[in-house]
Amino acid sequence: MALRDQLRGTGVAIITTFKSDDSLDFDALARVIEFVIDGGVEYIVSLGTTGETPTLSKEEKIEIANFTYDKVAGRVPVVVGIGGNDTRELVKDLQSFPLDKAAAVLSASPYYSKPSQEGLFQHYKILAEASPKPLLLYNVPGRTGRNLNAATTIRLANVPNIIGIKEASGDMAQCMEILRDKPKEFLVVSGDDALALPQIACGMEGVISVAANAFPHAFTDMVRLCLKGDFKAAKGLNDCLIEGYELLFAENNPAGAKAAMSEMKLIGNYLRLPVVPLSTPLHAKMKAYVSKMK
């Protein structure tokens, strides 16, 4: 199956699991991997921002990637997140990180520096040249402070080794412009769980999801129905998930997902500072929602 087809549907931006002493919890990560694969996700995205990568050391990232490859054991593709705001360091990471078993690399736009559109183009062009695996752009201006606009995205879509984008601007007009002008084989997937249904209706081919950590069955079924064009049935599932989307992102990601999964007894509810668990009132709402979704 072509890589583009493998990355169609639901990818899960998988969490990183910790113990109470702040160390990595690989037993819990193994449970999460089994849970999302059993839940029907088409692929796993390891070391995305949902994985709390800003607070992981390079050594921990390598451990997590290798553990994920081993536990997935080829059952679904694994995409690895390698992004940041130092282009030269990212080139080194792409050349030294264990990517032989990865299907692709997802690279978030540079944060904080707020480069121009030309700077964003040159950054990604250099990464594409250095990457041993196909590259997925990741536009998430709510985190990075700079939007990768439609014109730059289309420019990058014609750069060799760039195969698609996770588009999380939340700007439907921008999304439709990209979908209108992109090359036929350029993959566009949503990065906004709550907008996945209308974005697939406009032509996106799936979503890299946070919600699929906690609610993989309902979410992947919803996405598959959308891709089949059965939006009436998809809306029924999505209507049930709307409250979940709101709770997942009300305070911080992945605090919402971890609260839900701790209530399912999959993980301990541990995060690394500066991210903290949900407030007590919001956690109570999440607990009630999880109970309702069982």
Determine the Cα–Cα distance for residues 192 and 201; give it in Å rounded to an integer.
14
61 is catalytic: no
Determine the Cα–Cα distance for residues 214 and 126; give it in Å rounded to an integer.
36
Neighbour tally for 294: CB within 10 Å: 6
The single residue of 138, 245, 270, 289 carrying the catalytic annotation is: 138
What tokens does 108 get? 């978030």
Per-residue DSSP letter, 18: B
Determine the Cα–Cα distance for residues 180 and 242; give it in Å rounded to an integer.
28
Backbone dihedral angles phi then psi of residue 199, each to the nearest 5 degrees:
-70, -40
124 is catalytic: no
The single residue of 61, 166, 182, 258 carrying the catalytic annotation is: 166
Total H helices, total E strands in the chain: 14, 8
Backbone dihedral angles phi then psi of residue 8, each to the nearest 5 degrees:
-95, 135
Q: Which residues are catalytic?
A: 138, 166
